[in-house]
Amino acid sequence: MKPRFSRNVNMLAHYSYLRRFHHSHRRTFSSFFNNIRSNHFAARASSPGGGSGGGAGGGTGDSKGNAFLLPGATIATILMLGALHARRLYEDKKLEEKRERGIELEFHPDVKASFLGILPLRSISRAWGSLMSLEIPVWMRPYAYKAWARAFHSNLEEAALPLEEYASLRDFFVRSLKEGRRPIDPDPCCLVSPVDGTVLRFGELKGSRGMIEQVKGHSYSVPALLGNNSVLPMVPEGSNESEEESVGDKSDESWWTVSLASPKLRENISASPMKGLYYCVIYLRPGDCHRIHSPADWNALVRRHFAGRLFPVNERATRTIRNLYVENERVVLEGVWKQGFMALAAVGAANIGSIELFIEPELRTNKPKKKLFPTEPPEERVYDPEGHGLKLEKGKEVGVFNMGSTVVLVFQAPTANSPEGSNSSSNFRFCLKQGDRVRAGQALGRWKEE
């Protein structure tokens, strides 16, 4: 007769084995974190003022637990960034494969784009900004920043300060560079890139209302990007050539005055860009330096802040979200340079969405929204009512992005008085291709003085 308890004995033995396996791995996991904590507090004790603090309360368990909370939050942040980066790499690989096969991506809204429209992205971005501003323990900073650099292809050798001196991921993200790392093209007949990034679109503005192609199948209006009060040089369709040239031949100051006095000229729906009006769209990846520089010697006359949405501005977003740059929060600087009109639009993005201007430190973006309707006019500041504005030197820092973003340049440049399609050497020409990587200070285009 077979005993009935043999099966129970086997199950009990298996259960005991699982318990021993669980406890052994639990001890290993606990010892791993205890080692991290001991190393962390040993580093604090060895640092100036880290271990001494006077009084019996300096080494309480509560203070240790609170100090350990920050590294835990930082590790979670880095893991999240790593997961996002892995997904981005996968999507970029698929896109590159399509481009190699000659497939041009077209505009195609999807469910994700519609879902983003109902999310509180501004509040989420402020919360993410607070997380990125948490101070990282000194011993952990090099590891965190090197991980960021590997994930997003940043060059740490260009950083102006040692890694230990960047207190948070946000400070590291907006780091300045060593002197001379971004040489400015000295050619007086060139316009330089204001940022490090990838050239998405560029060309001359033509046709009704001055449209820029966001992606194949969808475009957005430059007047909508810069604002209804923009002095964008436009002329009504049907105007003869002599009238157009006479407007273009005016001096900078008189042209500015005429534009302010003639708002109907700017708001006319059938208006077209004047000859010699160009644009360039540059996308900043997370690994790029996010300092904004002046593209030329020019005078900034007015600043507009549009408190819009904070959609992502990556490649997928440009293919799925209508009027992306017009919908997003942005800061527009508008003024004049020796060739005429100049505007620089700094477009914010999801996660932080903060844009800072060194020429106006009191400006704050991504604040809790108080406006009822997004179509309300932007906050506007005229730097100099007399028309001289703030002088910005070519290559000098103007502002900084706190997270991935885009810059749109709109400017006038020399165009020869010659028939359409002429290759006169005095014409402005871009010296780059779509998809090129550019650095701040590198020439975007050149012309020759007649």
Cβ neighbour number for residue 360 with a 10 Å cutoff:
17
Write the DSSP assignment of 368-404 as a string of letters: PP--S-TTSPPEEEES-TTS--EEE-TT-EEEEESSS
- DSSP codes joined into one string, 150-197: HHHT--GGGBSS-GGG--SHHHHHT--B-TTSSPPP--TTEEE-SSSE
Q: Within 10 A of 449 (CB to CB), how many other CB atoms are there?
A: 7
Smallest CA-to-CA distance from 354 within 122, 113, 82, 84 is with 122
- Point out which residues pair with 151 in neighbouring strands: none
CA distance 137 to 114: 40
Give the residue numbers annotated as catalytic, written as ranges: 196, 293, 405
Answer whether 289's CB lies under 8 Å from 158's CB.
yes
Burial category of 436 from C-beta neighbours within 10 Å (exposed 0-12, middle 13-18, buried 19 and up): middle
> Could you identify the residue written with the tokens 């399509």?
98
Q: What is the pLDDT along the chain (450 residues), one digit of tens a residue?
A: 444 444 444 444 444 544 454 444 444 434 444 544 454 444 444 444 444 334 443 444 444 445 555 566 667 766 776 676 676 667 666 666 665 666 667 888 877 778 888 888 888 888 888 888 889 999 999 999 998 888 888 899 999 999 999 999 889 988 999 998 999 999 999 999 999 999 999 999 987 678 999 988 889 999 999 998 888 887 665 554 443 333 333 334 433 433 433 333 334 445 667 678 999 999 998 889 999 999 999 999 999 999 888 998 888 888 889 999 999 999 999 999 999 999 999 999 987 778 999 999 999 888 876 554 555 688 999 997 666 789 999 999 999 998 778 999 999 998 865 444 455 555 899 999 988 999 999 999 999 876
For the chain, the 3-state helix, strand and coil shares in percent, each to the nearest 5, are 35, 20, 40
Neighbours of 337 (CB within 10 A): 20
What are phi and psi for residue 330, nearest 5 degrees?
Answer: -155, 160
List phi, psi (to 5°) of 51: -95, -35
Residue the block writes with tokens 């316009």 = 191
Residues 405, 343: Cα–Cα separation, whole Å: 17
3-class state of residue 352 by DSSP: coil
Residue 355, CA distances (Å) to 204, 315, 318 in order: 27, 21, 20
Written as six digits, the tokens of 189 are: 């007949």
Q: Give alpha helix (H) positions in 177-250.
A: 222-226, 241-248
